[in-house]
Structure 1
């Protein structure tokens, strides 16, 4: 029954398939179904005028869908790696590297805490008394690695 319907539709099956893919793109966005839908519509146009046979139509659909997706991935997608005016926005610990701060509490056995602005940070470094000046040498996750500042 379904097979007979698909055969009777002829080239229109590609238009219907393409529109179904485009409607599915609305429900599950990600632009993959968009390019497959457009490829199906192009194959429908080809099948409407040339009637190349279903094998050629399927190969053309696969080739056009792949070519459209690759072309979009290579040339059309937005550049999300653009320079930001706040490059350390989501890397808060790393933005303190190189800065000098004063310890409010001592570092004992290599571990301590330091207050920067309104945040208390865990610090790791040599044992130092409260009030010592330290330079942030790096970050290990949410722990600031500090060294004594001369």
Structure 2
């Protein structure tokens, strides 16, 4: 083993990086991606500097691993990174503030509006079919409306 470590080539690092990236495909959740990229970068560095000692190779791999992971963590946690996901699993949230004509009259606090090719249940004051309503909120699959 000691003899193997002293004669690491760039192929060893590229193979290690490829193995980590393959393992990432099977569901590591992003943990192995950046370490695999660091291993591949160490392979490229070893190719460019073939006389690099194995201790320097491992040091370069460790530093590159830390740099890539920290870079990715900072990229993921930058201000506004989760703004696009704020409406995730809240399909009707993009309708808030828009106006629609009632498809079915609101009777007893419930009615329907047509949005594109689908009908949405609405809750609001009783109004006749065809009346213009404005979406003010959402409660699950129910849109909250008021007269426009």
Provide TM-score, normalisation by structure 2.
Answer: 0.59
- For structure 2, list consecutive stretches of 5 or more residues without a partner in the other structure: 76-80, 82-86
Structure 1: stretches of 5+ with no match in the other structure: 1-5, 76-80, 82-87
Q: Does 1:142 align with 2:141?
A: yes
Tell me the secondary structure at the aligned position of residue 36 of structure 2.
helix
Q: What pairs with 1:38-57 in structure 2 (closer than 5 Å)?
A: 38-41=40-43, 49=51, 51=53, 53=55
Structural mapping, 1:80-95, within 5 Å: 93-95=92-94
- What are the superposed Cα offsets for residues 81-107 of structure 1, whole Å, 9 maximum, x if unpaired? 7xxxxxx9x975334333332223222
- What is the CA-CA distance between 1:121 and the residue it aligns to? 0.6
Assess, with a 3 A threshold, how the Cα gap between structure 1 residues 14 and 61 changes in structure 2: closer, same or farther: farther
Bigger CA radius of gyration: 1
Structure whose residues are more often strand by fraction: 2
Task: Kindly indicate whether the alpha-carbon contact (under 8 Å) linking 1:112 and 1:122 is maintained by their aligned counterparts in 2.
Answer: yes
Change (3 A) 1:14 1:105: same
Quick one: distance in 1 between partners of 2:38 and 2:13?
7
How do 1:61-76 residues align onto structure 2 when only pairs under 5 Å count?
61-71=61-71
| 1: CA distance, partners of 2:70 / 2:144 | 44
Q: Does 1:21 align with 2:23?
A: no
The ranges of structure 1 where at least 4 consecutive aligned residues each deviate by more than 6 angstroms after the TM superposition are none
Q: 1:72 deviation in Å?
A: 5.7
TM-score, length of structure 1 as denominator length: 0.59
Q: Deviations over 1:50-83 (max 9, x none)?
A: 6475xx76454322211133346657xxxxx7xx
In the superposition, relative to structure 1, how do residues 73 and 12 fare at CA in structure 2: closer, same or farther (>3 Å)?
farther
